[in-house]
Structure 1
Amino acid sequence: MARRTTRPPRPSVTDRSACPCGLPAAYGACCGRFHTGRSAAPTAELLMRSRYSAFVVRDEGYLLRTWHPDYRPGGVDFDPAMRWTGLEIRDTSEGSMFHSTGTVTFVARYTLGGEPGQLHERSHFERHDGAWVYVNGTFMD
C-alpha cells in the first residue's frame, strides 16, 4: 500500500478575517488578493507582508511563485507545530513602484510547540518579469 504524506492543516483564515499581515484590512481585500492572483503586490513591502500571510495560511504555491527563480527551493516545509502570531515591519529601503530592488527589515513572531520565538530578517527583493519577487534574506540579531 502507498504511504500517504499528510500536510499540516491550514489555519482558518477567511476572506473576511483580519489579514495576518497586520494591515487594517480583511484578508480577501489585502493579502488574499495577491495569493489568488487577482493582483500583484505593487511594492516590496506589500510582497513581504503577503509572503508572511502565505506562511500563516500555508500557501506553498504563492511562496514559490514569488521566489526569484534563481533561488527558489523545490518546496516549502511547513512545521505543523509552528504558528505565526504577528509581523512588525522595522524598515524599508527602495522597493516602490519606481525601483527595481528593495529591502524590508521585519520581525515575524511565532510559537513553536507552545514556546514563543521570533525571526528578525532583512529581506532582499527584485523585480523579475515586472513583478516583485523575494531573492534572499539576512538574519539579524
Structure 2
Amino acid sequence: MADLLVRGAPRDADLVRAAQAGDAGSLGLLLARHRAPMYAVALAFLGHSQDAEDAVQEAAVLALRRFGDIRDPEAAGPWLRMVVRNVCRAQLRRMSAVPVADVGGPSRWTGRKARPTRRRCSNGTRCGTGSGARWRTCPRRCNW
C-alpha cells in the first residue's frame, strides 16, 4: 500500500489488485472511498438512516468475503453499490407487515361500491347520479 500512496491518490483498479493480493489497507481505503455512494444507495432504498447504515455495514462485510469475485477491477465502485442494492432488497424482503391493533369501530372501507347519489338541480328536483368526485350530467339536462 505504501508504494501506491507514493505515486499520489491510487486508482480503484490499483486498490482492488492490491487488496486481492492480500493488502488489507487497500481494501479499507477502497471501502472508505465508496462509503458515501453506498450509503446514498441504501438510503434511497430503505428511507431510514439507521437502516441504511446497517445495510452499508452488512454490504462491507459481504464485500470482504466476496472480494475475489470482482471481475473488472475498474468497476469496484459499481460492484460495491450492487452489493448494497442486493443487501437492501434482502432487508426489504425480511421485513414483515406490522400488525395493527383492531380499534373495534366500523371499517371505513367495506369493499362495496359507493351508491349513486342524487343532488338537487336548479329547478329543485333531485336528479343526476354521481360517483366520487366525478359527477355525470343530469339525465334531465338541467343545471346543478
- Normalised-by-shorter TM-score class: under 0.3
Higher RCO, 1 vs 2 (CA within 8 Å, ≥6 residues apart): 1
Q: TM-score of the superposition, structure 2-length normalised? A: 0.24
Higher strand share: 1
Higher helix share: 2
Q: TM-score of the superposition, structure 1-length normalised? A: 0.24
